[in-house]
Structure 1
Amino acid sequence: MHPLSWLFAVLSALGLTSGTPFDLHPRAVTRISASELAGFAPYTQFARAAYCPTDVLKDWKCGEACEANSDFEVSLVGGDGDDIQICKYSPSLGAVIVAHQASAILFSDLTDADILLATPSTALFPGISSSVEVHSGFLNKHALTANVILAKVKSIMNSKVTNNIVAIGHSLGGALAEIDTIFFRFNIPSASISAMTYGTPRVGNHAWAALVDASDVNFKRIDNEIDPIPIVPGRFLGFEHPIGEIHILSAGNAVSCPGDDDASDADCQIESVPTIFEGNILDHLGPYEGIYIGTIFCT
């Protein structure tokens, strides 16, 4: 059996499909203009750059991804030996950029014992409600570098006199970027926070999605065609995406989907990919408006 077929079989056995117990009500999508789609490119290139080795990122020499944001000032590059995080300042965007790489163990993160939901630590998320729960594996990954990144973000904000933070990531990196939005909101409440995530799996429960929705974060999660990753873990396991889905249907053609994890419109992701068996894992890599994201595309 092909390794991906085996993976899909495991996901299916664990119920990681798009089945849902929630009531759904029809809501209309809105088309994304060509100019808005083009405006995503700098952020997509940051997500792409996060896959590159630290030795080239330190000098910001990672080929097209770095050239696309040539004025970028690298401040922190590193991680836990597996994931790479980049913290830096972008003069052209006027913001501190925090970009997370995905992990090679994304699929096992979605299928192992860490599938359990857990309440984020009040040490990192002071005052968070006990009703809020997040994928425990994602929380553990985030905690590894959270305090180091927070200190660097505060330092850059002070030195550059900016109030803007943008969290970026693809796949598991997107999940970490989503967690960052609330982490920064709790720890830097005055910041103007945005997030651009790509091919992101579900991160937390309904209370988590509601918290992201209510947090005054400009949150966008972009999914590509029939990528199966955004429909896992399954909603019947308690997971739910926040508002902010942008679904790429084809080159130059994307829609903004309303509501949390909306399934009522055929153009939204979980209607396009009802189960993982109907998805195409290659769509997870892109193209996101002509840009592919992954280790083999970092130069």
Structure 2
Amino acid sequence: MHSFLLSFVVLGALGLTFGNPVELNRRAVTPISSAELASFAPYTQFARATYCDGFQTWTCGAACEANADFQLALAGGDGDDIQNYFVGYSPSLGSIIVAHEGTDPTQLESDLTDVDVPLASLSSTLFPGISSAVQVHTGFQDEHALTANAILGAVKSLMSSKGTNKIVAVGHSLGGALAELDTVFFRLNIPSASISAMTYGTPRVGNPAWAALVDSSNVNFKRINNEDDLIPIVPGRFLGYAHPAGEIHILSPGNAVSCPGDDDATDADCQIESVPNIFDGDILDHLGPYEGISLGTIFC
């Protein structure tokens, strides 16, 4: 497993003394209704399925059974050099689903030892026309590039055969970072698409220019954080990283809020206030449960 991909949480502890200034006009969080929380479940199960044996034939047990009508079109990855991924069509959701596996949470202990978190400009081949000022985590970008073209081809084929322009990218942990990269990748390469993303426990992917690009890309982007998970607060903002808007913070089962703005929310109910440094976090919350659904190989 890639030891660099999430191990930078060690540096997150320093983020307590850096970051954006407190806004003079504090913006309030918005409670998430129980009906909206329940609507996330199919996407959470897709994220769960990426960890499970049998996803390649959609026979992965409960995670696959939860979306039993899913029509798999492409599956790949080895869970090591290439993260597991799949593409297919969900008739019940009327959408093409693109899902990426995260770094296995059981490997996080070894991942914590690596602190290599360089930022780099986006590939001009995969992300044409984007300013070099927009930068993302090198490891995330390299991982995304391994499967980007194959996934893009499968998505375009499904858009034609299923007569839909709706795409939803999903993923947990590293998989969430890859799904975040997907949003801009799809927007640039399929301008006519209606693009959404549902990510879970996602680390910061890029710099403030990247966050602004995601915000301006006309994408329905949601990044869901569970209680005191520490992964969403790393890499630290002092290293030049920032989250885009779209945070939903699960405070307790059945109780969640939508946080305003990018990575500068000052409300105590938002992640960077409730978990100001990694010592206040709980790595077990990274696994979930996300409204009753836990993510990782041990939950297949």
Q: Tell me if TM exceeds 0.5.
A: yes
Q: Does 2:276 correspond to 1:253?
A: no
Q: 1:81 to 1:62 in 2, by over 3 A?
A: closer
Q: Provide, for residues 196-233 of structure 1, a one-character-per-residue CA deviation record: whole Å limited to 9, x for no partner.
A: 00000000000000000000000000000000000000
Distance 1:114 1:288 in 2: 29
Does structure 2 retain, via aligned residues, the 8 Å contact 1:167–1:194?
Answer: yes
Question: 2:3 aligns to what?
Answer: none
Q: 1:278 to 1:176 in 2, by over 3 A?
A: same
Q: CA deviation at 1:17?
A: 3.4
Q: CA deviation at 1:62?
A: 1.5
Does structure 2 retain, via aligned residues, the 8 Å contact 1:168–1:195?
Answer: yes
Structure 1: stretches of 5+ with no match in the other structure: 1-6
Q: 1:216 to 1:107 in 2, by over 3 A?
A: farther
Count of paired positions: 289
Distance 1:108 1:263 in 2: 31
- Given residue 210 of structure 2, which amino acid in structure 1 is its aligned partner? W
Alignment of 1:1-299 (within 5 A): 11-12=9-10, 17-25=15-23, 26-53=26-53, 56-79=54-77, 81-82=79-80, 83-104=83-104, 112=114, 114-298=116-300
Q: 1:95 to 1:145 in 2, by over 3 A?
A: same
Q: CA deviation at 1:295?
A: 0.6
Q: CA deviation at 1:108?
A: 6.9
Distance 2:110 2:187 in 1: 29
Q: 1:249 to 1:81 in 2, by over 3 A?
A: closer
Q: Provide, for residues 81-129 of structure 1, a one-character-per-residue CA deviation record: whole Å limited to 9, x for no partner.
A: 5210011111111111000001246677776464110011010001011
Q: CA deviation at 1:240?
A: 0.3
SS in 1 for 2:15: coil
- Given residue 232 of structure 2, which amino acid in structure 1 is its aligned partner? P
Q: 1:182 to 1:138 in 2, by over 3 A?
A: same
Query: Which range is displaced more, 13-22 or 280-289?
Result: 13-22
Q: CA deviation at 1:60?
A: 1.2
Q: TM-score, normalised by structure 2?
A: 0.91
Q: CA deviation at 1:65?
A: 1.1
Q: Provide, for residues 3-30 of structure 1, a one-character-per-residue CA deviation record: whole Å limited to 9, x for no partner.
A: xxxx99x844575534433222121000
Q: 1:47 to 1:23 in 2, by over 3 A?
A: same
Q: CA deviation at 1:61?
A: 1.5
Q: TM-score, normalised by structure 1?
A: 0.92
Identity %: 70
SS in 2 for 1:185: helix
Q: Provide, for residues 235-287 of structure 1, a one-character-per-residue CA deviation record: whole Å limited to 9, x for no partner.
A: 01000000000000000000000010134100000111011011110000001
Structure 2: stretches of 5+ with no match in the other structure: 1-5
Distance 1:126 1:107 in 2: 37
SS in 1 for 2:57: coil
Does structure 2 retain, via aligned residues, the 8 Å contact 1:75–1:88?
Answer: yes
Does structure 2 retain, via aligned residues, the 8 Å contact 1:118–1:133?
Answer: yes
Distance 1:168 1:151 in 2: 18
- Given residue 31 of structure 1, which amino acid in structure 2 is its aligned partner? P
Distance 1:18 1:76 in 2: 42
Q: 1:48 to 1:151 in 2, by over 3 A?
A: same
- Please provide the CA RMSD for this pair: 1.9
Query: Which range is displaced more, 107-116 or 123-132?
Result: 107-116
- Given residue 277 of structure 1, which amino acid in structure 2 is its aligned partner? F
Distance 2:91 2:198 in 1: 18
Q: 1:13 to 1:123 in 2, by over 3 A?
A: closer
SS in 1 for 2:199: strand
Distance 1:75 1:242 in 2: 30
Does structure 2 retain, via aligned residues, the 8 Å contact 1:114–1:135?
Answer: no
Does structure 2 retain, via aligned residues, the 8 Å contact 1:202–1:232?
Answer: yes
Does structure 2 retain, via aligned residues, the 8 Å contact 1:16–1:233?
Answer: no
- Given residue 72 of structure 2, which amino acid in structure 1 is its aligned partner? V
Distance 1:66 1:145 in 2: 22
Distance 1:131 1:200 in 2: 22
- Given residue 52 of structure 1, which amino acid in structure 2 is its aligned partner? C
Distance 1:165 1:13 in 2: 34
